Amino acid sequence: MVALAPGTAGVDVGGTFTDVVAWDGAHLRTAKVASTPEQSRAVLEGLSAAGGGEGLLHGTTAATNALLERSGARTVLVADAGFEDLIEIGRQDRPSLYDLAATRPVPLVERAARVGLPGRLDRDGRYLGAAGGREAGERAAVARVAALQPEAVAVCLLYSFADASREVAVGRALSAALPGAAVALSSQVAPEFREYERASTTVVNAYLIPVVAGYLERLRRGAEQAGVARVAVMRSSGGLMAVDEAARLPAAILLSGPAGGVVAATALGRVLGNEHLVSFDMGGTSTDVCRIDFGRPEVAYERAVDGYPCRMPALAVHTVGAGGGSLGWVDAGGALRVGPRSAGAHPGPACYGRGGGAAAVTDAHVVLGRIGPQTRLAGSLVLDAAAAEEAVGRLGDAALLGRGAAARGMAEVVEAHMQRALRRVSVEEGADPRRAVLVAFGGAGGLHATALARSLDMAGVVIPAHAGVFSALGLLLAPPRVDLARSVMATDGRALDAALGGLLAAAKTALRAASGVDPVEVTGFADARYRGQSHETTVPYRPGEGWARLVARFHRAHRRRNGFARPGDPVEVVTVRAEATGRPAVRFEDLPAATPVGAAARGHREVLTAAGLIRAAVWWRPGLRPGQEVVGPAVIEEPDATTWLAAGERAAVHPSGALEVSW
């Protein structure tokens, strides 16, 4: 990956639409096209619709979809003899403690495809040999793997996080014996202690390499034909990585899709002077939420993706199956339900006029009048209001409700799902939502934002400019990034400084090698715990700050997250982490100020609310000028999104074009 420059486009693939924002150094151009089963096709179509560009920054769900659909490669696991079943044994913790029907996901590597590497280890992880000699045992194991004819091999040996030499040697032998197979080593994928999580991450990575690498190669070839010279991919942690690196490390892009919106929300928060935010991205298929405190998104260093632990840094995004395309249905007890099944892009909600007959949330908004019957969705799709009314009417009949009541019920049910998601990333993690502002985007985010924020007594709502393609804008705002981790056991400042100092230097070097530019910021962290604990709390640390400051910081973080601290107990650091970031293609401060285009006032229309039909003003957002205020009840329309203001709510236009909503 080379340094980024003007002439770059960010492309974010969603379940319904693919969004594009292109930057030429002075202006933004946007486009929205229907997503396609082969994502690269929609990416290139969207890039063309936005006028093209020399660089492509990509947020993709290719890795996520392959894992969810179980369409990855035929994979073999190589582990120390006796530890082949590690990925199946897992841990004793159960996510659903009282659910008698709960099951673990089926391992990605079947039992017959797990190969044990013979040999004995002492208590310090030193290899003691094997019958017939170490080399003979390794050759036999490699031959067994080759006989299975895998497409990918995951290698996870005990203590390789501390000494990778044996694992590297085994990897070389496997690559020589299987030149067409992908080989993933745990010491390169997730060099941290806890063998189960390390093995799971390595298996996931190996399982995804052939699929993701094939997709990225098709995208790169298509991009080259379109005149695109540079392609980078969004990491789950909110930065960009080279396309070649993403092909080798697909586990790092499992949450690539939602990350762009969080990056953009964080950047907008700095411009608005808001340090405490919750990003709220409601698209066609799902809603993604993430907490941002003190100008930094919450980062998780281990996530379970569809039940498989993945020990990779990722923005702590919580996703629920609630979007504009979520379908309404009636359960066996006669209750109205919404989602998680979605209409997707094809056929889409009934109002798309593409043959969809079931009522989706978008159809409900058309019936309520929040989305106008003459609206051109994504600038080109003329909605079929009659089809929406018919679909919602059928749902209402099934639920013994009138059409209007069914539409209101769908909105309330989907908001209940999204409220639980907001509570999950705030209240349930010890963060007070009352001090946070909700940054709502995505095509449908502005239709529900104020109701959700008010239900949690949040400080306000911000609807950014370009709300419908905000995640794609976040790709332009994302910096090149490298994440490194190393497991240690430090109980004093000297050992901690030595370990973290070396890792920070390695992160700087890795970023220069990947991007060709010097880091703008390098940040260190320490995973600390009370001695004997089985989980850690990650806190920031700079070499030289001293052990006492780290410990005090850890106590505060532990109390905030868990509700208690034990200041008298000894503390230890088990893992150090480093993040190195470069300069993004564009900073939020570089974007041009909002310039009104066209008339803002678009008359009035009737909107159905709990109080009955009311007369709401209709505004065209591109025509609003900075400083102007819109008072609800009002509908604010724009080419790729709609905002609903209820009575008593008011939106002020910020110079950036963002709507700051209060009540």
Q: From CA 138, how far away is CA 161, in angstroms rounded?
A: 19
Do the Cβ atoms of 524 and 531 come closer than 8 Å?
A: no
For residue 184, list its beta bridge partners: 154
Do the Cβ atoms of 234 and 61 come closer than 8 Å?
A: no
- 208 three-state secondary structure: helix
Please state the three-class secondary structure of 38-58 as a single string.
Answer: CHHHHHHHHHHHCCCCCEEEE
For residue 609, list its beta bridge partners: 612
For residue 641, list its beta bridge partners: 638
What pLDDT does 1 receive?
Answer: 43
What pLDDT does 561 receive?
Answer: 87
- 442 three-state secondary structure: coil
Q: From CA 8, how far away is CA 4, in angstroms rounded?
A: 7
Q: From CA 109, how far away is CA 75, in angstroms rounded?
A: 6
Torsion of CA 111, 114, 118, 120, to 10 degrees: -80
For residue 12, list its beta bridge partners: 19, 59
- 534 three-state secondary structure: coil
pLDDT 10s digits, 146-189:
999 999 999 999 999 999 999 999 999 999 999 999 999 999 99
Asked if the 481-582 domain carries CATH number 3.30.1490, the reply is yes
Please measure the distance between the N-terminal and C-terminal CA atoms of the chain and give it in whole angstroms: 46
Do the Cβ atoms of 195 and 156 come closer than 8 Å?
A: yes
- 256 three-state secondary structure: helix
Q: From CA 326, how far away is CA 404, in angstroms rounded?
A: 18
Which residues are within 8 A (CB) of 442 and not within 5 positions of it... i.e. 6 or more apart? 261, 280, 281, 282, 283, 287, 323, 467, 468, 470, 471, 641
What would the DSSP string read from start to end of 597-610?
Answer: -S-SEEEEEEEEET
Q: From CA 489, how far away is CA 499, in angstroms rounded?
A: 10
pLDDT 10s digits, 68-106:
899 999 999 999 999 999 999 998 877 777 888 777 889
What pLDDT does 566 receive?
Answer: 95
* DSSP element (H, E) containing 613: strand 612-620
Measured CA distances, 474 to 39, 71, 238, 584 (Å): 19, 29, 9, 10
Q: From CA 514, how far away is CA 518, in angstroms rounded?
A: 10
Q: From CA 243, how far away is CA 233, in angstroms rounded?
A: 6
Tell me the mean pLDDT per 10 residues along the chain, length 663.
Answer: 64 88 90 88 92 89 91 96 92 78 88 89 63 74 95 96 93 95 97 95 98 95 91 95 95 93 96 96 91 94 91 94 93 94 86 92 96 78 92 97 97 96 93 96 95 97 95 95 95 96 96 84 96 93 97 95 93 97 91 87 95 96 96 94 96 96 97
> What is the total residue count of the chain?
663
Q: From CA 217, how far away is CA 232, in angstroms rounded?
A: 12
Helix axes 445-455, 403-424, angle to 10 degrees: 60
- 493 three-state secondary structure: helix
Do the Cβ atoms of 78 and 145 come closer than 8 Å?
A: yes
Do the Cβ atoms of 32 and 13 come closer than 8 Å?
A: no
Which residues are within 8 A (CB) of 222 and not within 5 positions of it... i.e. 6 or more apart? 40, 43, 44
- Residue 556 falls in which region: left (phi positive, over 0), alpha (psi -120 to 50) or beta: alpha
Is 144 exposed, middle or buried, given 0-12, 13-18 or 19+ CB atoms closer than 10 A? middle
Residue holding tokens 């919750």? Answer: 278
Do the Cβ atoms of 247 and 216 come closer than 8 Å?
A: yes
What pLDDT does 379 receive?
Answer: 64
What pLDDT does 135 receive?
Answer: 78
CATH 3.30.1490 residue window(s) in the chain: 481-582
Q: From CA 83, how far away is CA 133, in angstroms rounded?
A: 20
